[in-house]
Amino acid sequence: MTLIEQSATELLGLLKRREVSSRELTGAYLDQIDAHDQQIHAFLRTDRDRALQQADLIDRRRAQGESLGSLGGLPVAVKDVLCTRGAVTSCASKMLENYVPPYDATPIARLKEADAVILGKTNMDEFAMGGSCENSAFGPTRNPWDTERIPGGSSGGAAASLAASMTPLSIGTDTGGSIRQPASHCGVVGLKPTYGRVSRYGLIAFASSLDAVGPLARTAEDVALLLGVIAGHDARDSTSIVQPVGDYRAATRRPLEGLRLGVVSEHFGEGLDPEVAQTVRDAIDLFKDLGATVREIAMPHSQYAISAYYIIAPSEASSNLARYDGAHYGMRAPEAEWRDGGAEENPLVQMYRSTRAEGFGAEVKRRIMLGTYALSAGYYDAYYLKALKVRRLIAQDYHDAFEQVDLIVGPVTPSPAFKLGDKSEDPLSMYLVDLYTVGANLAGIPAISLPCGFSSDRLPIGIQLQGAALSEELLLQAAGAYQGQTTWHSQRPELA
């Protein structure tokens, strides 16, 4: 195994024992990016000089015997949805192509405090809207296992960068499955924490009541390592959870005993690819071998999750994205288009309209339209309010389920990664892919996606575990135990 293919935990050991320097490690990943990212396009931006400078500084401090933060020189890739002070943060949108935030998002600040080296910003669906990474204004990311295929989204760059050994750790965000889906398609581990466990301060909002920042890595222990750094209360986020953070790394090494797993039969019904179904069932059997009991549980409202989600998320998005209007930051349409003329006599209004028409891509416009419609006079009760009530019913289903079982287990996506362009013309079919993942966001509970096998086309398949609020330790314990018995996560794609 080459240096860059090792797990973050292993690399951390090498760094601590000074068997490798942060500069060497950072350089090796940057070289890998240089060699392969033309093809994969996992990154929107890297800054070699800045990253190496940071690595040098950490190496120097280590040499001087200073005690370092818990990432002590490890490189981390960050999804381009988290604000980085003084460095472009674009959300993969033309609208923010040149936007330089004046502040660091709290998770970024915590990475810096932990002495991580920020490698660069990863590609994503524009404003995190999408499940394929095709909605980036700067071109799609390709799946390292098959470059004709999508890596999943919206944290497609985050997952692909791990699969392509371009980083040992990645930060993603998950509003309806955006960490778990790409993790599943790229054969890596992705954890969506409990809502509020990681601060959203500086996370460019898609749907505020659903958005979660979380770690992606190649092993459960690496995910635990990264979660431990970014999790914790933040007074700048009113929805941040006050409860103390657990010892996540220790949890991944704890033996599994008497785990009660729940299976939702609807999750194995129509629409699920048979290979995925079989692979997930095999994984569940392995959990049984590890001493778990499995029972069927009812989630009577899970069939309504997509509908509720595609009302709530676009509604919040329509409001969150109103600020991109060309007035205070970001793109403004060229003056000739609005100063005199246009459909509007009012140049200000025409400036708004032209700017938003040019700055946003098709999927973002679609969701803004859907959300604006759902909130508009006369439709609020039938759509938005109804969806909030259904959300309560779905959360209640989870609550009831976790009275009977510890974790719910099932597929992450209905099929392995599809081909680029396959669903672009049919938004509804694209939305339906989120069937198994949006529930956790609606209920605010944590969930993890683990590699559990491959399709006959040698495409990664993932399994999802969902737990009650703040059950991250249990999720990581189960994931660690599973990975102790399997090698799916250590397989790597051949890169051209």
Partner 1 sequence: MSGTAYTTVIGLEVHVQLDTRSKLFCRCSSQFGAPPNTQTCPVCSGQPGALPVMNLRAYELAMRAAIGLNCEIPQFTKWDRKNYFYPDLPKGFQTSQFDLPMSQDGYLDISDPEGAFEERRIGIIRAHLEEDAGKSLHDEEAGKADSRIDLNRCGTPLLEIVSQPDMRSAAEARVYLTELKLLLTYLEVSDCNMQEGSLRVDANVNLHIDREEDLIATPIVEVKNMNSFRAVQRALEYEVERQYELWQQTGRKLGDVGVTKETRGWDDEAQLTRAQRGKEESSDYRYFPEPDLLPVTATGEMVQSVRAGLGELPAALRTRLAREYQLSPYDADVLVNQGRSLVDYFVAVADRCGDGKSASNWLQQDVLRHLKETGTTIEAFAVPGEQLADLISAVHSGALTTSRGREVLTHLISNGGTVAQAMQQLGIEEVDQSELEELCRELLIANPKIVADIQSGKTKAAGALVGQAKGKNPNVNPHDVQRICLKLAAEM
Partner 2 sequence: MGLSREDVIKVAQLARLELSEAEIAALTSQLGDVLTYIEQLSKLDTEGVEPMAHAVEMVNVLAEDVIEESFDREQILSNAPSRDDTCYRVPPVLGE
Q: Given the rule CB under 8 A, which residues bind partner 1?
A: 82-83, 89, 91, 96, 99, 101-103, 105, 200-205, 207-209, 235-239, 315-316, 318-319, 321-323, 325, 327-329, 348-349, 352, 372, 375-377, 380, 384, 388
Reported for 269-276, long-range contacts at CB under 8 A and 24+ positions apart, including other chains, are 271/414, 271/432, 271/435, 272/411, 272/414, 272/415, 273/414, 273/415, 273/416, 273/455, 275/416, 275/455, 275/456, 275/461, 276/411, 276/413, 276/414, 276/415, 276/416, 276/455, 276/461
Per the residue annotation, which of 132, 154, 318, 471 is the catalytic one? Answer: 154
Q: For partner 2, which is the closer residue by CB, 35 or 322?
A: 322
Residue 343 binds partner 2 (CB under 8 A):
yes
Q: How far is CA 195 from CA 23, 320, 397, in A?
A: 35, 18, 17
Among 23, 36, 112, 356, binds partner 2 (CB under 8 A): 356
Nearer Cβ to partner 1 (85/281): 85
Contact 42, 161 (CB under 8 A): yes
85 or 254: CB nearest partner 2: 85
Contact of 422 with 163, CB cutoff 8 Å = no
* Distance separating alpha carbons of residues 431 and 125, to the nearest angstrom: 14
- Provide the minimum distance between the beta carbon of 25 and partner 1 in the complex, in angstroms, as a whole number: 29
- Taking CB under 8 A as the criterion, the residue among 331, 420, 474, 476 binding partner 2 is 331
Label residue 284 exposed, middle or buried (CB < 10 Å: 0-12, 13-18, 19+).
middle
Tell me, yes or no, if 178 is annotated catalytic.
yes
Nearest residue to 168 (alpha-carbon basis) of 207, 98, 221, 123: 221
Q: Please identify, using beta-carbon distances, which residue of 81 and 461 lies nearer to partner 1.
A: 81
Give the per-residue contact string, 226-265, with partner 2 (x = CB under 8 A; - = no): ---------x--xx-x------------------------
**Radius of gyration in angstroms for the set of CA atoms belonging to the chain, rounded to a whole number:** 22
Per CB under 8 A, 369 contacts partner 2? yes
* Cβ-contact 455, 275 below 8 angstroms: yes
Which of partner 1, partner 2, none sits in contact with 469, Cβ below 5 to 8 A by type? Answer: partner 2
From partner 2, partner 1, none, interface partner of 389 (C-beta below 5 to 8 A by class): partner 2
> Judged by CB under 8 A, which of 93, 136, 141, 194 binds partner 2?
194
Site for partner 2 in 254-313 (CB under 8 A): 301, 303-304, 306-308, 310-311
Binding test (CB under 8 A) with partner 2, winner from 127, 201, 248, 352: 352
What does DSSP assign to residue 267? Answer: G
> Shortest distance, CB of residue 208 to partner 1, whole angstroms?
4
Cα–Cα distance measured from residue 360 to residue 366, given in angstroms and rounded to the nearest whole number: 10
Residue 130 to residue 433: CA distance in whole angstroms = 10
Assigned token pair, 120: 């660069």
Residue partners of 278: CB distance under 8 A and separation at least 6? none
Distance from CA of residue 421 to its chain's centroid? 21
Q: How many chain residues are in contact with partner 2, going by CB under 8 A?
A: 77
Comparing CB distances to partner 2, the nearer of 26 and 194 is 194
Given the rule CB under 8 A, which of 43-51, 63-71, 281-289, 437-445 is the region that contacts partner 2?
437-445
Q: What is the 3-state secondary structure (H, E, C) of 380-410?
A: CHHHHHHHHHHHHHHHHHHHHHHHHCCEEEE
Residue 39 CA to residue 166 CA, distance in Å, equals 13
Pair 359, 324: CB distance under 8 Å: yes
Chain positions 454 to 483 lying near partner 2, rule: CB under 8 A, are 469
Please report the sign of the dihedral spanned by the C-alpha atoms of residue 225, residue 227, residue 230, residue 234: negative
**416 is in the binding site of which of partner 2, partner 1, none (Cβ under 5 to 8 A by kind)?**
none
Residue 200 interacting entry, from partner 2, partner 1, none, C-beta within 5 to 8 Å by type: partner 1
Nearer to partner 2, 255 or 341 (CB): 341
208 has catalytic annotation: no
From partner 1, partner 2, none, which one binds at residue 89 (CB under 5 to 8 Å depending on kind)?
A: partner 1
Question: Does the active-site annotation cover 121?
Answer: no
Exactly one of 127, 360, 398, 418 binds partner 2 (CB under 8 A); which one?
A: 360
Q: What does each C-alpha distance from 332 to 136, 322, 325, 336, 421 come to in angstroms?
A: 19, 14, 7, 11, 29
| Distance, CA of 26 to CA of 14 (rounded, Å) | 13
Among 386, 454, 486, 495, binds partner 2 (CB under 8 A): 386
**Within a 10 A sphere around the Cβ of 406, how many other Cβ atoms?**
20
**Active-site entry in 178, 184, 240, 354:** 178
The span of 100-108, 146-154, 163-171, 405-413 binding partner 2 (CB under 8 A) equals 100-108
What would the two tokens of residue 154 be?
């919206």
Residues 387-426: x where in contact with partner 2 by CB under 8 A, - otherwise, as a string: xxxxxxx-x-------------------------------
C-beta closer to partner 1: residue 346 or 396: 346
- Helix, strand or coil for residue 11? helix
Q: Establish if 365 lies at the interface with partner 2 (CB under 8 A).
A: yes
From the list partner 1, partner 2, none, partner contacted by residue 294 (C-beta under 5 to 8 A by kind): none
Min. distance of Cβ 91 from partner 1 in angstroms? 7
β-strand 189-192 against 447-454: which pairing, if any?
antiparallel
* Active-site amino acid positions: 79, 154, 178
